[in-house]
Amino acid sequence: MRTLTRSILTLAACAAGLLAQDSPGLWTSDQVRAAVTATLAESPTLSAIKLNSAQIDGDRITLDLSRQLLDLSRPSAIDNAIRRLAASIATLPADSTGFRLSVLVDGTPLRDVRGDTLAARSQAKLPVRRASAAADNNAPAASVVVLNPDSGELDLDGARSAELAMTIRESLSSRGMEVLGARNLDKYAGTGDSGADKWRESALAYLKELGLPAEILEQGDDTSRPLFANWAGASAMITLRGSSSRVPLIYYSPEGPQSGASEALALGLQTGLTGAKVIACDDCGLEMRLASMASVVLDLGEAIAQPAIQLAAAGSVGESFQALSTHVLAASQAEMTSPAPGSQLTGTSATFQWNPGQDATSYWLMVGSWLGGNTLYSQSQGNLTSASVTGLPTSGSTIYVRLWSYVNSQWVSNDYQYRAFSPNGSTPTKAVLTAPAPGSKLSGSSATFQWTAGVGVNRYYLFIGQWAGGNTIYSQDMVDSVQASVSGLPSDGSTLYVRLWSYIDGVWQFNDYTLTAAGTLNPVKAQITSPAQGSTLSGSAVTFQWDAGSGVTHYYLHVGLWQGGNSIFSQDMNTSQSVQVTGLPTDASTVYVRLWSYIGGAWQYNDYTYKASGTAPTAAKAAITAPAPGSTLTGSSVTFTWTAGTAVQRYWLFIGTSVGNNDIYGADQNLNQSATATVPVNGKALYARLWSYINGAWQFNDYQYKAAGN
């Protein structure tokens, strides 16, 4: 009973986690902190790491970890920790999945990575596993073993691991097992497309040759190997490596649904290898996290090149599999047989039937409106292999079914999708807002929002904000409700933006609407209150502050060296009314500030000027240094270069057929000190004018050249 209760809690936690994952939204520091803290606490290898702080700035998330108990001498462990943290953040609800992850250790930068890409490598989608040989005549038998020689293009150790794989293959094949390689294991297969022997090419090259599905191949060389093992319906996967270790090492992961089978396989291999050590780790590689079967890494160490050791290892693997294959490795979860996965149901009730699997002792069935959901049905089936479910929707929406099997003291599952019955056979359609009427004006600070059910919609989410897609006023998962009462709406006549999300066939889609808040809009742009307009700044770092304005929903600040410029600072301030700007000049030059206000769906601005701190150097215009003024050009393509000048904030170059003209070339050079122009080759005079922008005014120097040619 205690085991069943614990399993029920595990199932509930899984469902809750997936429920959160499906929701669109905007992250907060609290959400990120909670996700990261939970990930650190749940993993035995990460629990010693402490989180100092979590901050969000746009799409950048900064995590500051405590140096205490953090072993910086193990880069692989650090990389694994960062990958796990990125994956935990990626599961949070968001309407944009892209983010950068900066990791600090007590304030000192450690890593800066593309978090969504890193998370994707940890959460690569598993292809659907082949069901059985009965369902597919080409499917491998139940006792399939995948051997995975390590490395990409084979180096010395990689070549030895491939040779070891060939030796092990012979041992397993002689015991009646089917052995597949995650790369070519035939030394006489000839030359591949790369020009190297096929057995030395990458795993990806071999899997492409086998014709595996694109969803596996597109994951890359490392990730495709365990996904291949899943697709093949393998009973076990062994990754083979060689290192500087003096004794054989066998690694397995203590986490995940296959940890028990993996440990049993590792211990079985240990018995036949003198001095071998079994090590539990969760940062051994992708094969540990993505393989849905018993998986170990076998590292023979320095002895990998010794034929006697290879034969001993091969014999050990063969004997271990022979002992384990009838129990641990051959165990498999139940699979749905009726209704046919992917089919459309015929009404509001259905009887789900499944095969018993192998060594499965109990089953649990969940039916919901999203992956892993159980809002329609969730019940233990004991040892029964069928269940009748009523109350199913008739909207034509996607129904998600998860069938759990209790195998080797662990719950494992298979997922299936069905199309709900639809009397009129309508095409899936997003929900549509019906009240308040889109485009109308609200009557007060609260309102009830209502929408149609749509067709095939499993779930709804409502955003209300002050710009398109914003949710600063309201953001709520409505589950299957088709209305929401919202209070705290503004009463200033401003524009409100409503985004109604519909979850259809596993994808969030939305319709956007605008409403006008109650009250009267008297828009006033925000104004800078400090520093005072026209004043001299106090140094290279200054805090700018501004009032709220009226009807302003968003601010943006530009700081530059010319009017409207933003070469010093450019940032979306959201609803903040102050910011510290660093890197300001200290040469008494003019600094230009533009404060933008978003009012009624349009950006407006106020401009300000300040005098930088410090003393102004003696100004000097930039001067062309090449080609030498007065010289004859050498061809039609000419690169002009010039000095920086003194106190020059910007350059502009003219080239023409008369003094001050730009009929050949004219372009703003910003802060560049060279430009390439195409000029005539006719032997005639050409004129260059180099402009220098100094303290708010343009000044110039003129030059004359002779074009190449006659």
| Torsion-angle region of 107 (φ positive above 0: left; ψ -120 to 50: alpha; else: beta) | left
Q: What is the pLDDT of residue 336?
A: 93
Q: Flag whether pLDDT at 120 surpasses 60.
A: no
Check if CATH label 2.60.40.10 holds for domain 433-516: yes
pLDDT digits (tens, 9 = 90+) for 422-465: 876 667 889 999 999 999 999 999 999 999 988 888 788 899 98
pLDDT digits (tens, 9 = 90+) for 637-679: 999 999 999 888 889 999 999 999 999 999 889 889 999 999 9
Q: Average pLDDT, stretch 201-211?
A: 81
Q: Average pLDDT, stretch 239-257?
A: 78
Q: Flag whether pLDDT at 234 surpasses 80.
A: no
Q: What is the pLDDT of residue 169?
A: 78
Is 710 or 462 the better-scoring residue by pLDDT? Answer: 462
Q: What is the pLDDT of residue 112?
A: 59
Q: Average pLDDT, stretch 282-299?
A: 73
Q: Average pLDDT, stretch 274-289?
A: 73
Q: Tell which CATH classification among 3.10.20.90, 2.60.40.10, 3.40.50.920, 1.10.10.10 matches the domain 336-419.
A: 2.60.40.10
Q: Average pLDDT, stretch 310-325?
A: 65
Would 144-324 and 528-611 be classified into the same CATH topology? no
Q: What is the pLDDT of residue 164?
A: 73
Q: What is the pLDDT of residue 105?
A: 73
- The 10 Å Cβ neighbour count of residue 190 is 9
Q: Flag whether pLDDT at 175 surpasses 80.
A: no
Q: Tell which CATH classification among 3.90.1150.10, 3.60.70.12, 2.60.120.330, 3.40.630.40 matches the domain 144-324.
A: 3.40.630.40
- Cα separations in angstroms, 633 against 199, 637, 682: 59, 9, 11
pLDDT digits (tens, 9 = 90+) for 54-109: 877 766 788 877 755 455 544 445 655 676 677 667 666 554 446 667 777 766 66
CA distance 484 to 456: 20
Domain locations along the chain: 21-122, 144-324, 336-419, 433-516, 528-611, 624-706
Which of 164-173, 297-306, 345-354 shows the highest mean pLDDT?
Answer: 345-354
Q: What is the pLDDT of residue 5?
A: 27
Of 302, 174, 145, give the one whose Cα is nearest residue 238.
145
Q: Which structure tokens are listed for 380?
A: 């233990």
Q: What is the pLDDT of residue 706?
A: 94
Pairing of strands 410-419, 590-599: unpaired
Q: What is the pLDDT of residue 482?
A: 92
Q: Average pLDDT, stretch 250-257?
A: 77
Q: Flag whether pLDDT at 162 surpasses 80.
A: no
pLDDT digits (tens, 9 = 90+) for 681-698: 999 999 999 999 887 788
The secondary element (H helix, E strand) that includes residue 337 is: strand 336-338
Check if CATH label 2.60.40.10 holds for domain 528-611: yes
Give the confidence band of 27 by pLDDT, cuts at 50, 70, 90: low
Q: Flag whether pLDDT at 705 surpasses 90.
A: yes
The fold of 21-122 is: GMP Synthetase; Chain A, domain 3 (3.30.300)
Q: What is the pLDDT of residue 78?
A: 60
Least confident of 25-39, 533-547, 591-605: 25-39
CA distance 318 to 329: 13
Side-by-side strand order, sheet with 542-546: 528-530, 542-546, 578-581
Is 234 or 571 the better-scoring residue by pLDDT? Answer: 571
Give the confidence band of 306 by pLDDT, cuts at 50, 70, 90: low
Q: Which structure tokens are listed for 110?
A: 């450690």
Question: Is the dihedral angle over the CA atoms 28, 95, 88, 285 positive or is it negative?
Answer: negative
CATH architecture of 624-706: Sandwich (2.60)
The secondary element (H helix, E strand) that includes residue 686 is: strand 685-694
Q: Flag whether pLDDT at 288 surpasses 80.
A: no
Q: Flag whether pLDDT at 134 surpasses 60.
A: no
Is 274 or 481 the better-scoring residue by pLDDT? Answer: 481
Q: Flag whether pLDDT at 680 surpasses 90.
A: yes
Q: Flag whether pLDDT at 547 surpasses 60.
A: yes
Q: Flag whether pLDDT at 610 surpasses 50.
A: yes
Q: Average pLDDT, stretch 254-260?
A: 70
Contacts of 198 (CB under 8 A, 6+ apart): 184, 186, 189, 190, 191, 192, 205, 206, 209
In percent, how much of the chain has pLDDT > 90?
Answer: 29
Least confident of 33-42, 168-177, 318-327, 453-462: 318-327
Q: What is the pLDDT of residue 154?
A: 38
pTM: 0.36
Q: What is the pLDDT of residue 73?
A: 46
Least confident of 69-78, 337-346, 369-378, 397-406: 69-78
Give the confidence band of 119 by pLDDT, cuts at 50, 70, 90: very low
Is 1 or 222 the better-scoring residue by pLDDT? Answer: 222
Is 513 or 179 the better-scoring residue by pLDDT? Answer: 513
The secondary element (H helix, E strand) that includes residue 463 is: strand 457-465
